[in-house]
Amino acid sequence: MTYSEEDYIKAIYHLSKDLKSFASTSDIAAQLDTKASSVTDMIQKLSDKKVVHYKKYQGVRLTEKGEIYAASIVRKHRLWEYFLVEKLNFSWDEVHDVAEELEHIKSEKLIERLDVFLGFPKMDPHGDPIPDQHGQIPDIKKILLSAMKDEQRGIVIGVKDSSSKFLRYLDKLNIALGTEIKVLEKEAFDNSMAIVIDHKTVHISAITAANIYIKT
């Protein structure tokens, strides 16, 4: 597979994970910042290679083979992100683009040795699970901060949006993975929230709250 094909496979994987079904041409185009026509071309190629199921105008879904391939790319991406943060002292908002390149390096041995070297991490720096060699993902129970009720406590274990912008905003709020929080009050008017972090009260918007995962 080329780098480009791998990026498409990963995009389809993420889209059909979220939407739990078929990924549309335009969704894939949006995800990869490309044109729908380019997506159609590539989809047809991936269909020939039996990594996706495709019927014209029906969108696309990964085959068994495609799922396994996708999981291996995600595994590499997240292991490299972990490496960059834990070993090279990158911050969590700097790792994505580099991992986007590193995930395509073709060597089974490399990734398995990296896994050993890192101590078999289960989560990447954004709290996303790292698939194992067989593509299995441990699914951790988590809820969105926006779904929490007044007085409820929990620990931040992940983010839904892992853009640099959002992550740097969380840094400013002193919210990191592992941070303990308590909901003081959810405002009925706009769903904004007052929460307590390290004994200080912080106000966050509904959008922010809907992008933070919590373990209760």
Partner DNA sequence: ATAATTTTTTAGACATGGCTAAATTAATAA
Partner DNA sequence: TTATTAATTTAGCCATGTCTAAAAAATTAT
Contacting residues toward Mn ion, per CB under 5 A: 7, 81, 100, 124, 126, 128
* Rg, the chain, Cα only: 19
120 belongs to the binding site for a second copy (CB under 8 A): no
Instruction: Report CA dihedral (139, 144, 145, 151) to the nearest 10 degrees.
Output: -80
Quick one: which segment of 109-117, 121-129, 150-158, 186-194 binds a second copy (CB under 8 A)? 109-117
Residue 126 interacts, among a second copy, DNA, Mn ion, none and using kind-specific CB cut-offs from 5 to 8 Å, with Mn ion
3-state secondary structure of 210: coil
Cβ of residue 145: shortest distance to DNA, in angstroms? Answer: 30
119 belongs to the binding site for a second copy (CB under 8 A): no
Q: Are strands 52-54 and 200-204 parallel, antiparallel or unpaired?
A: unpaired
Q: What secondary structure does DSSP assign to 71-105, as a single string?
A: HHHHHHHHHHHHHHHHTT---TTTSHHHHHHHTT-
Residue 40 interacts, among DNA, a second copy, Mn ion, none and using kind-specific CB cut-offs from 5 to 8 Å, with DNA
106 belongs to the binding site for a second copy (CB under 8 A): yes
Q: 61 pairs with which residues across the strands?
A: 53
Enumerate binding residues for a second copy (CB under 8 A).
Answer: 84, 87-90, 94, 97-98, 101-102, 105-107, 109-110, 113-114, 116-117
